[in-house]
């Protein structure tokens, strides 16, 4: 009987997901984990931009980004304060458990369990627009990610997850391992001629997996909570389990 490869991947992914939920990622392999979310808008729509007085930047550099820091202060402050209050009340933190530092065009929320940075910057290719990058890192409590409270605070907040590989890996080796697999294993790979990175497609996973040698990144078309992104990573780990060598790269 022929088994649908999507079923095989789903089964392996579910099994690995249970393992991820039961214990943290292997520290001997994973050096760190971060979640990234991106948004943005038009510079002249920022509350600090005064039409008739200010000019829209025509380049992205230190001077124009400093200007952005002045005109985005209100939006950044409101965004950071809202996050501070959601985290404080949602997780039951006390005053000593978290701090917020505002230094436009950036802000940083530091808690006893994780850190979130918010950064405004002009788009290099279109300086009439700005981008907002929110990064969570320094996660010290893996169980926290699995809670309903944490998922509610960061619902639809992140579209990328990145794992730092403590020992690193050769991109060429990753490519060779995947190209040696059978088609029904559900893994395909593409890469540039210099093999500086490779893009991996995993059947049944709605994300692009990128290996740079130093990191393994997952980029999603739709933003989700850290818990949702970790569930998709569990499916990738399940798919990699088809090969002992591949499985050993991410635990």
pLDDT per residue as tens digits for the range 113-146: 999 999 999 999 999 999 999 999 998 887 898 8
Q: Is the pLDDT of residue 19 over 60?
A: no
Query: Closest Cα partner for 72 from 36, 39, 116, 111?
Result: 39
Shared-domain flag, residues 179 and 225: yes
Residue 131 covered by a domain:
yes
Is the distance from CB of 60 to CB of 122 less than 8 angstroms? yes
pLDDT of residue 119: 98
Q: Which neighbouring-strand residues pair with 56?
A: none
Count of CB atoms within 10 A of residue 213's CB? Answer: 17
pLDDT of residue 72: 98
Residue 171 covered by a domain:
yes
Radius of gyration of the chain (CA): 21
Range of the domain at 95: 38-138
Residue 217 covered by a domain:
yes
Count of CB atoms within 10 A of residue 187's CB? Answer: 24
Least confident of 59-73, 99-113, 197-211: 197-211
pLDDT of residue 30: 63
Residue 160 covered by a domain:
no
**Where does the pLDDT of residue 2 fall: very low under 50, low under 70, confident under 90, or very high at 90 and above?**
very low
pLDDT digits (tens, 9 = 90+) for 29-71: 566 889 999 999 999 999 999 998 999 999 999 999 999 999 9
- Structural domains counted in the chain: 2
CA angle 224, 91, 159 (to 5 degrees): 15
Residue 13 covered by a domain:
yes
Q: Checking phi first, is residue 88 left (phi over 0); if not, alpha (psi -120 to 50) or beta?
A: alpha
Cα atoms in the 13 Å half-sphere on the side-chain side of 138? 11
Maximum average pLDDT range among 5-14, 17-26, 188-197: 188-197
Cα atoms in the 13 Å half-sphere on the side-chain side of 12? 22
Residue 149 covered by a domain:
no
pLDDT digits (tens, 9 = 90+) for 177-196: 999 999 888 899 999 999 99
Residue 96 covered by a domain:
yes
């Amino acid at each position: 009987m022929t088994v649908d490869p999507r079923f095989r991947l789903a089964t392996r992914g579910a099994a690995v997901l249970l393992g991820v939920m039961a214990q943290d990622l292997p520290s001997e392999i994973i050096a760190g984990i971060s979640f990234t979310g991106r948004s943005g808008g038009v510079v002249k729509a920022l509350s600090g931009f005064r039409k008739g007085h200010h000019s829209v930047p025509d380049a992205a550099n230190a001077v124009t980004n400093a200007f952005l820091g002045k005109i985005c202060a209100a939006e950044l402050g409101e965004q950071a304060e809202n996050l501070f209050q959601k985290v404080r009340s949602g997780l039951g933190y006390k005053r000593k458990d978290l701090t917020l530092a505002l230094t436009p065009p950036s802000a940083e929320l530091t808690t006893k369990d994780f850190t979130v940075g918010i950064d405004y910057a002009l788009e290099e290719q279109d300086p009439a627009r700005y981008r907002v990058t929110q990064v969570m890192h320094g996660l010290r409590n893996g169980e926290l990610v699995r809670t309903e409270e944490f998922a509610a605070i960061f619902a639809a907040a992140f579209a990328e997850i990145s794992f730092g590989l403590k020992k690193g890996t050769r991109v060429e080796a990753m490519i060779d391992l995947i190209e040696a697999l059978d088609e029904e294993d559900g893994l395909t790979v593409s890469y540039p001629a210099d093999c500086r990175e490779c893009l991996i497609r995993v059947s049944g996973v709605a994300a692009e997996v990128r290996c740079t040698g130093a990191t393994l990144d997952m980029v999603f078309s739709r933003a989700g909570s850290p818990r949702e992104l970790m569930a998709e990573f569990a499916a990738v780990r399940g798919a990699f389990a088809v090969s002992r060598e591949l499985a050993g790269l991410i635990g």
